Amino acid sequence: MLARGVPPLSCAICSNRKEKRFCLAVHGRICPQCCGEQRERTLDCPSECPYLQQARQHEKPRQLEDAPPEEVFPKVELSDEFLQAREPVISGILQTIGRLSRRDRSLNDREVIAALVNLAKSYRTLVGSGLIYEQVPPSLAQQALIEAVRQLLQEFRELEREHLGYTTLKDTEVLKVLVLALRLAHIHTSGRPLSRAFLDFLHDRFAEALSSIAAADEPGSRIIMP
């Protein structure tokens, strides 16, 4: 039964304009204007939404220069040699982020970026002064991600000791890996508050690996030594 004063077939959000598309976020029909204005802002849009996917195809690629400097660490240099040498660690961290985001719907791009910034600042302090400084994350999703990344790094170092007798992964290199993940996040996110564009990028990039981990129901990521 329609509410009094609300015209038939009106948008479920504004109640003024005519509805023209079904919104998976509100489970109702809305107008294109509300869809465009509220997408990933007030609407928690599922990744499978065709209108979200279409909008991403037409969005202008983001540039690192547009990101806050304190979130991309511009003074940290990343060489091709480093990226090749530490590919297993890089892939492991990115897969860990993707795996957690599939389990926890509250983990979006903004939460991931905040958690990685927290970690990167801790390692920057550790590298610069040798002091361990940790800021308590404001959300449970961020805490879970930080703990998962720390566990992954510990497992990687343990595997190195097992195979080599010692560990080669330095804290300076961990900082660089975290900075790389942050820069990828800023490039691939839409920048909107509820965006999961970066997470969807990870799901596409590591689809086979994430499916294998999910099938095995393992608590940690798979680490492959070079």
CB neighbourhood size of 224 (10 A): 10
- Site of tokens 């991309």: 72
Q: Is 139 helix (H, G, I), strand (E, B) or coil?
A: coil
Is the separation of the CB atoms in 182 and 90 below 8 Å? no
Q: What is the pTM of this model?
A: 0.86
Per-position pLDDT tens, the chain of length 226:
444 555 568 999 999 999 999 999 999 999 999 999 999 999 999 999 999 999 999 999 899 999 999 999 999 999 999 999 999 999 999 999 999 999 998 899 999 999 999 999 999 999 988 767 667 767 899 999 999 999 999 999 999 999 999 999 999 999 999 999 999 999 999 999 999 999 999 999 987 665 554 444 444 444 433 3
Domain ranges across the chain: 1-58, 62-216
Our measurement of the distance from residue 149's CA atom to the centroid of its chain's CA atoms, rounded to an integer in Å, reads 13
